[in-house]
Structure 1
Amino acid sequence: MRLYLLALNPTDSVTEGFLPAAARLGLDVTVLTDQPDAHRRTSPHVEVLECDVRDFRAVITRISTHHHRPDAVFTNSDHLQTQAALAAAYFGLPGKDWRATLRAKDKAEMRRRLTDTGVDSVWSAEITEPVAPLDAPYPCVLKPREGVASEDVVLVDGPEDLVTRSKEILDRRPGTVLVVEEYLPGELFTLETLGDGTVRHVLGGFRTELSPPPYFIEERMVFVPAHPEPVTQQVLAQLDALGVGFGACHTEFVVHEGRARIIEVNYRAIGDQCDLLLARLLDVPLFEHILRTHLGEPLPADLGLRRDGAARLEYPCADRAGTLVEAPAATELTVDGVHLTYRPLREPGERHALYRTNRDYLGVLRATGTDQSTVDRGAAEFLAAHSWEIRP
């Protein structure tokens, strides 16, 4: 069976998750990408073809003119969900509804849909020039309409700040459409789901700790085996309104006084190595399950999730621009029953600007065990025993 996997740059989710899972399932894989050299370096044993994957027409043509009939078209990229959905529909294959992928990707359309269906209403407006809408509620959040990874997401406290910040973003990213929306207070969580269009499983979620305002960098995440049932049902109702229910979905939401409100929907598996942690923590073939749904196989009624796990992820983060001169190497060890996996995201000698996004991550620490306080202590001790030094 032939899997066509659409990708931009290589990611841990693909190279360490989906490609090994496809191999275990016995699938022949063709990666379609606009960065073929990068994928050939990270996955030298996989067929890689160059393609303008942002254009669904180019994707359909590349598959049609290749010498292998598709059995599944799949992507884990935020940017390519609609293209993959349209290509799968064209070839009559299982896949996500392209309207749902569009609503998830387009943050303004998501707000309109939630309002139109009556499940939630958040003040929002789109701008293409540095102006402050007259009725904007302050503080409010400014972000790209189709952005990812908290890039150019900022809290603004008044009209002058909004104009200044929007001009900075538009100068860097000409032609970008920005969304200004009401700031939603509350604790930030995620909900991780997996569905086949009929059955939907809730895998759990995370509590997310952010950097101080005005930016929204995710600095650490703690696993939540199950949110309170009323909270989960509120989030699922909003996903239903968006038409989201096939394959993996990573939803970010806040809870304030018992009310759950979606921040954004990433219609894919959670990234930044959280998916790799989930597979280990829940003791399930997570990546295989996701691929099977795109092959048209129904999910089991019971995934057999392990429910006694505790986990924490820490993201050592650059606080300045400069050259990384000292950092720990990749490490894997078990201390007091806590399994610790550290993976560097930058190597000593690399020089970077300060991005105010997860592109500032220097590495990822995954800690898993069965007791949260022991896991937290193990992660804290690892971080205290190592240093990351950046010189201007």
Structure 2
Amino acid sequence: MSTTSMAGAASPTPGPEGQDVLPLVAVAYGLGAAGPLAVGAAADGLCRVVWLCDRTDPHTAEVLAFLERSGDVLDVTGRTPEEVAGALRAAGARGVTTFSEGRIRWTAEVAAVAGLDYHRPDTARALTDKSAQRELCSGTPGAPRHARIVGRADAPADAPADVLAAARAVGFPAVLKPLSGSGSRDTAEVADLAALRAELAGLEGEFVLEERLIGDPAVAGEGWGDYVSVETLSTRRGHHVLAVSGKFPLAPPFRETGTFYPATLGPAALRAAEQAAVAALDALGVTYGVSHTELKLTAAGPRLIEVNGRVGGGTARTVRSVGGPDLLRTALLAALGRTRDEVRRSAEGRPFPDRIGYEYLPPAPRADGTVRALGGAREVRRLPGVDVFTPTVRRGARLDWRTGTLSHLGMVYGTAADHRALAGTVAAIDRALVLDLDLDLDLDLDLDLAPDPDPDQLFSTPPTGQAAQR
């Protein structure tokens, strides 16, 4: 396989002798919810995939050689959406999509010019701009109070007018997060105006300040995360909920530690979560593809955290591992413009899985430093219920908890007989892993170094602030 120039993008590779050529789907590549191997497996027998790659993106440049070895690549570096759309039309592409948060808006522009199904550009903006999203969803039940703030490195000593206005509109405690982004990066809780000013000091860019939502641990059950995600297929004819996944408790301040399917919710709470997700999608005008909606489970019902216009990270593998819908294949079917009934048939899995699929992300301590060693990998791989453990830190690596969910020590995938067995497996993983970290002198002393918990109490309710929304 090779990188194709814009001028040479028009000739599809013939299929095997005697077989029709599979339709072509272009996938805008970027760091996100699905890599090339997973997308390739989902596309098997359904479509051919060409990766749209922008070499100015550092991650894409780093993995470009692998993408070229594993599939077809179209270099779109420096090209306008109109030029890319023309190349896709010349190649006979039947669809375009992305599994990367950072490529959603660009993909929407290309699709609009090429006349292919995808999020409309205005919908794509709402899906990736947290302030615009909250504004559009403000009339839906459970939408949090919010305000937009512009960070300035040279801000005066006194709080600027927009900061004061945001504080009055939202109140405290609150959560400050970048206007765009994913994975809880640079997300912080602020208790008062002084804390808000301190977080903004020296920062530039746009942020959203929003009400901190307090979860009710009784909804999902003691020991589990107090939020869920809802994967939904949308077409112009409506929405179809594909899966509702539970979450492990957040690590301070708002770092995700993984997901599991199915969730622990009872029938009433499950229906409420599905209805809340559909209401948010309607408010945003979503009529295309698979979306990932996160909801806080509060005593007053589910409240919106955010909507992502793509498959959720880790969710596709977790759901599929126990016979649930193939979310990546469903997303590719949607890109091909298949009818809703055909897509729904592809998405159907066992309604009541007989096992629990999970992705666990062991969190690093809330500290900055350099990794000396990570021990226990062999012990983790030997645990019952663990299929794969991939460490994500190595000797000499820098750890920075401010990178959010990406500050984890590794990725663990597997299945468990039930939720209680899953709790025991995660407790054993945490006991096995030993991080040797050379701490920076200027460090946050909240190292989360608690003694090993009793397996039955593994997921005790986190202190106030850890259970807030991302």
TM-score, normalised on structure 2? 0.73
Aligned to 2:423, the other structure's residue is in SS state helix
Q: What is the aligned partner in structure 2 of residue 278 from structure 1?
A: 319
The code of the aligned residue for 2:134 comes to R
Structure 2 counterpart of 1:179: 208
**Which residue of the partner structure matches residue 244 of structure 2?**
204
2 CA distance for matches of 1:331 and 1:191?
33
CA RMSD of aligned residues (A): 2.7
User: 1:317-346 CA distances to partner (integer Å, 9 max, x unpaired)?
Assistant: 22232124224558996865x353212222
- Once the two structures are overlaid, the 10-residue window that deviates more, 146-155 or 32-41, is 32-41
Deviations 1:181-218 (CA, angstroms, capped at 9, x unpaired): 22122232221222344352331222341123xx2111
Tell me what 1:133 maps to. 164
State the Cα distance separating 1:101 from its structure 2 match: 1.9
Deviations 1:108-157 (A, max 9, x none): 11121122x45455322212135332414011111111122111111101
Task: Give the aligned length.
Answer: 378
Deviation, structure 1 residue 4: 1.6
Q: Would the alpha carbon gap of residues 258 and 334 (structure 1) be closer, same or farther in structure 2, given more than 3 Å must change?
A: farther
State the Cα deviation string for residues 300-321 of structure 1 (Å, max 9, x = none): 3573322223134321222232
The 5 A counterparts of 1:211-222 are 211-212=251-252, 215-222=253-260
1:359 aligns with 2:406: yes
Aligned to 1:240, which of 282, 289, 300?
Answer: 282
* Aligned amino acid, residue 200 of structure 1: H
Q: Which has the larger radius of gyration?
A: 2
1:297 maps to 338
2:412 matches 1:389 = no
TM-score normalised by the chain length of structure 1? 0.86
Contact 1:190 / 1:208 at 8 angstroms: preserved in 2?
Answer: no
Match in the other structure for 1:19: 40
The code of the aligned residue for 2:29 comes to A
* Aligned match of 1:326: 374
Query: What CA distance in whole angstroms lies between the structure 1 residues aligned with 2:181 and 2:261?
Result: 25
SS at match of 2:296: strand
Question: 2:130 is matched by which residue type in structure 1?
Answer: K
| Structure in which a larger fraction of residues adopt strand | 1
- After superposition, the Cα gap between the structure-2 partners of 1:52 and 1:160, relative to the gap in structure 1 and judged at 3 Å, is farther
Structure 1 residues 311, 41: CA separation in 2 closer, same or farther (over 3 Å shift)? same
Task: Give, in whole Å, the separation in 1 of the partners of 2:127 and 2:140.
Answer: 17
State the AA in 1 paired with 2:196: L
Structure 1 residues 348 and 327, CA gap change in structure 2 (3 angstroms): farther
Q: State whether residues 371 and 395 of structure 2, in contact with CA within 8 Å, keep that contact through their aligned partners in structure 1.
A: yes
Structure 1 pair 246/185, CA: closer, same or farther in 2 (3 Å)? same
Note if contact 1:94-1:296 (Cα within 8 Å) is conserved in structure 2.
Answer: yes
Which of the numbers 164, 171, 176 marks the counterpart of 1:142? 176
Q: Which runs of 5+ in 1 are unaligned?
A: none
**Partner of residue 373, structure 1:** 420
1:62–1:230 CA distance, 2 compared to 1 (3 A): closer
Query: Quick one: percent identity of the two aligned structures?
Result: 21
Deviation sequence 1:214-260 (CA, Å, 0-9, x none): x2111243434465212321232122111224211111111222422
**Unmatched 5+ residue regions in structure 2?**
1-22, 216-225, 440-470
3-state SS of paired residue (2:402): coil
